[in-house]
Structure formats: structure tokens, C-alpha cells
Amino acid sequence: MTRRYFAIALCVVASTASADLSELRDLHLDVIPRTADETARIARVTAPTPDFTVAETFETNPGGAATVRARSDADAFSQASGNMSFEGELNFKVGNGLFRKLWVSSPSSTMASDGLGPLYNARSCQRCHLKDGRGHPPDGPEDSPVSMFLRISVPAASDSAMEEIEAFLDSIGDTTPRTRPDPVYGGQIQDFATAGHTAEGRMQIDYEEIEVALSGGENAMLRKPNYSLADPAYGAPHPEAMLSPRVAPQMIGLGLLEAIPVEDILSHADPDDADGDGISGRAQIVWSVEHEVPMLGRFGWKAGMATVKEQSASAFAGDIGISNPLFQAPSGDCTEAQEACIAGPHGDGDARRWEIDAEGLDLVSFYSRNLAVPARRDVDDPQVLRGKQVFYDTGCVACHTPKFVTHRLDNQPEQSFQLIWPYTDLLLHDMGPGLADNRPEGRASGHEWRTAPLWGTGLTEQVNGHSYFLHDGRARSRLEAILWHGGEAQAARDSVVGMPPEDRAALIRYLESL
């Protein structure tokens, strides 16, 4: 049931002494090049609409032919691509079983499911990505933080182990401060442990309420979070440790995002704001463990992973402590300072070779690529159409790019040559001091975040029972999420504050329809 999947890599074709992003090229497997006629047609269909009196053609199908009917229950994000073959459906269902599987600690009589931890954040992928949707911060002291955790890193000089990517970043003039995992706690704080081991600590969140006055006599309340590590079990973290919270993002449409041509994403980048519109999107460049080349980062809140498979493998290792072909340490994120964790029993060494083998990882990756985007609702509603015009006129589309057309892919028919509507440019943007985590990641500074896709967000309450948004779930509504925008989005945010209340309501109604 394994398959060969295409990957998009960025390869340095010039000497690193003179390399820049214009000299990065696609490396594609199983891609059919576009013709000149197709390129012209794609430019026409992806151009921003000037007409807000009617819905656009195909706007109801944000995932192209892979779109599925919008269900009215909590399974709306858990459907397979609508254009999937019968064979693909079998792979999807097996991948779903592995995604939902509860892992147990070693040694165990359940050899196909052992290897948990010893330190971990969740026992399954589904425990973080609840119903394949969005995680949330703990709702009070009794609520579990299972769908949210803390990243941790420290400032660091150059590392010989990362020499190739650092040489490349240096060659393009990138000056983002380099970071490394904390020498004791690794790359993230694991708040659970198997028997005989001690969890690393627990995330503590303290909120401050901030009132924001809006036009028309309205107001909104924002909650400003402060994060700390409580009860650190392995001593104090590094004195310069940087903490950054993460809620699990929704899973829909990942394969379609992976299939967007690199050059189409880079065409939206404007790091020096050459057009003077105040928007300076930058491409994230990361080292791919899977392909061993620098690649365009697409996945994660700061676009720290290049491919769906690598994102899946990293989560197995960091979140669950499961070794795999890409991240092979059987003790997961444990560091050399955590000797008991390193020496603890694990599930490597049997017929699987790793705690999840190559076939299992491929099946989970296939499942993750093919979680379908639900159809849009109410696209012809007059208030939704007015909200769409407000969304465009306010400048939201400068980062939340509505449309792309994916590659033609021989071996990925579900994602091949689809007009999609993700509402993201997949680039890094400075979101200002209010949202800053002050923790660099790759090329992303402590103020920068990848533009979050908006497709499917209107179903968050239905799927997950909450309306928490942004990287740490601090926003309790779509309006609060907008009001946290700063930096490059400050002008758009201020427009929302000052616009007539009926336009603000229409904007929210439009977002609810996505």
C-alpha cells in the first residue's frame, strides 16, 4: 500500500557565494510541466475578482475536485478527498487508523503499538488534532493542555551539523538569529511521561484583559497571555531560553498546499516592500531531513517544515516520542542531560526497525495529505458578498491570497491541477509586537508568522466546539483574531476598528462562510 509521492524541493543551482531566492529551482517528481496556454489561463483564473455582486465560478469548491460536501456534524474535517479512487480510500482508512492509534510504553505485548515516550505530549495524533481540527488552550485549571504545548529554544552560534543550510542562509544575506533546542529540555516541553519517568513540567498561562474601542460605540475585549514553565522537573531551563506556545492547527487541505508550485508562492514575496504597500512577505527556507536540501517551508505556524511527510514524522518524534525513518531517536525529544529517558526501554529493534516504520509513516502522510476541504456555504448571501468586498478592500488579500492552481501530478491525482482557495500566501509576515513570541525559527524572526490558511475556519465551532484562533488560541472569536493583527497588518486591523459596524459584521459573516 505504499506509494511514491512527489516532493517540492529547492535546490541551489548557483554557487552559495552568489545565491539568492531567484536562483532556487523546483525539483519535482511526477510533475507535468505547464504549457504556455495553461500558464496564461491560470493567471486569469487566479486574478483577484473586481465583481462582488455574485459569487465567482467554482468558489463553492475551495479544494477543487477534492472538495467534499460540508457536513453538519463534528466529522466535517475528517473526510477523504472527494476525487479519491477506491484504492486510495483503503489507504486513507488505514492511515486514519494509525493517526488515531493510542501508543503504549515499552516493553509491551502490543508490539505494533509500543514505543510511547518516555516523555510525550499526547498518545496519538488525534489527541492533539481533535477531530482533525483545531486545538485550544486549557479552558481553566481542570482542562487538559493536550492539544497545546510550548516550544523552547536558546540562542546559538553556528552548528556544524547544520552547516549546509546555514551556509545557504548566509549566502542570501539572512541575519535571523540562530537558535538551538534547550540543552536540558530539548525542542519542546513534554508535559506527560510513561511510568517510571517524570514529565518535564507544565505550561502556565496568565491572561490580562485589554479593552478595544470600536466604531459605532462597540467594543471588544482581548486577552493578552503570559507563558511560563511551572514545576520544571529537570532543573531550570537555560537562562536565555525562549518559550513559544503552539496549538495544533486544523489538518484539512495539506496535500493541496504542498502541491502549490514554488514559483507561484515566491511570486508573492516582497521582502523589501518594493511596491510600497506595507506588506513584506518572505519565504521560509528550511533544511529538509527527507530530501537533504534546502526547501521552501510551508507547514507549521512559522512554516518550519517543508513537506507533509516531514511534518508528520517530526510530530511522531516530538509529540509522541515515536521513532521513524526521518527522526530515528527512540527516545524522541529527550536530551543527553535526561539520562533515564535516553536509557529507558523503547520499541526499536523488532521487525518494524523503528517504532513506526516507513510504510506506516507513508500511510499517515497519505491520510494527512487527503483530509478534504469542505464546500463553502452561503456564497451568494448578500451579506457574505458584502463581507467579501470588505475583505478585499481592507487589504486582507495581500497576505491571505485567495486562489492558486496546483501542479499537474501523475501519481497524486487528488491534488493534481486543482483550482484551490486556501486564503494564504504561505509566506512569513511581521505581525507586530502584540503577537510576537520573540523566538526565531529558521528565517522567521520573533515577530514573523506564516499566513494561516482560512479555508474551513467557519466550521471550527461545529467540529471542535470552540472559536479559539491564532497560534496560541488567545483569540476567542474571529474579531479578536483580527484585532491582534499588527505590523504589516496594522493598517488593515485599524480599518476594521474604524469601519461602519455593518461592514464589520459583514466581514465576520464572510469569514464564517469559509
Euclidean distance between CA atoms 53 and 327, whole angstroms: 51
The pLDDT of residue 424 is above 80:
yes
Element (H or E) spanning 257, and its range? helix 254-258
The pLDDT of residue 175 is above 50:
yes
Residues 291-316, mean pLDDT to the nearest whole number: 95
The pLDDT of residue 18 is above 80:
no
Q: If you count them, how many residues does the chain have?
A: 514
pLDDT digits (tens, 9 = 90+) for 91-135: 999 999 999 999 999 988 888 889 999 999 999 999 999 999 999
The pLDDT of residue 354 is above 60:
yes
The pLDDT of residue 2 is above 70:
no
Task: Report in angstroms the alpha-carbon separations of 450 from 229, 436, 470, 478.
Answer: 25, 12, 11, 18
* pLDDT on residue 16: 31
The pLDDT of residue 65 is above 70:
yes
pLDDT digits (tens, 9 = 90+) for 317-350: 999 999 999 999 999 999 999 999 999 988 887 7
Residue 26's pLDDT band, with cuts at 50, 70 and 90, is low
Of the chain, the percentage scoring pLDDT greater than 90 comes to 82
Alpha helices in 150-234 (DSSP H): 163-171
Residue 33's pLDDT band, with cuts at 50, 70 and 90, is confident
| For the chain, domain boundaries | 8-513
* pLDDT on residue 174: 83
The pLDDT of residue 351 is above 80:
no
Element (H or E) spanning 43, and its range? helix 36-46
**Is the CB of residue 237 less than 8 Å from the CB of residue 187?**
no
* pLDDT on residue 20: 58
Collect all residues with Cβ–Cβ distance below 8 Å to 455 and sequence separation of at least 6: 62, 63, 252, 253, 373, 421, 422, 423, 514
Residue 7's pLDDT band, with cuts at 50, 70 and 90, is very low
Grid cell at residue 109? 505485548
For residue 432, is it left (φ>0), alpha (ψ between -120 and 50) or beta?
A: left
**Cell 512527489 sits on residue:** 6
Which of 64, 100, 87, 59 lies closest to 373 in space, CA to CA? 64
Backbone phi, psi, residue 159, to 5°: -120, 125
Count the Cβ atoms, other than its own, within 10 Å of residue 273: 12
Residue 49 DSSP one-character state: P
**Is the CB of residue 52 less than 8 Å from the CB of residue 385?**
yes
User: What is the maximum span of the chain, computed from C-alpha positions, in angstroms?
Assistant: 67
Euclidean distance between CA atoms 365 and 380, whole angstroms: 35
pLDDT digits (tens, 9 = 90+) for 151-174: 999 998 766 556 777 777 777 778
Grid cell at residue 395? 487589504
Collect all residues with Cβ–Cβ distance below 8 Å to 277 and sequence separation of at least 6: 270, 395, 398
* pLDDT on residue 1: 30
**Cell 533544511 sits on residue:** 287
Task: Report in angstroms the alpha-carbon separations of 361 from 130, 313, 314, 368, 409.
Answer: 20, 7, 11, 10, 21
More confident position, 178 or 2: 178
* pLDDT on residue 165: 77
Residue 177's pLDDT band, with cuts at 50, 70 and 90, is confident
Euclidean distance between CA atoms 138 and 332, whole angstroms: 24
Rg (Cα) of the chain, in Å, rounded? 22
Element (H or E) spanning 387, and its range? helix 382-393
pLDDT digits (tens, 9 = 90+) for 181-212: 999 999 999 999 999 999 999 999 999 999 99
* pLDDT on residue 381: 98
Mean per-residue pLDDT over the chain, rounded: 91
13: Cα within 13 Å, side-chain hemisphere: 9
The pLDDT of residue 504 is above 90:
yes
Residue 139's pLDDT band, with cuts at 50, 70 and 90, is confident
pLDDT digits (tens, 9 = 90+) for 428-472: 999 999 999 999 999 999 999 999 999 999 999 999 999 999 999
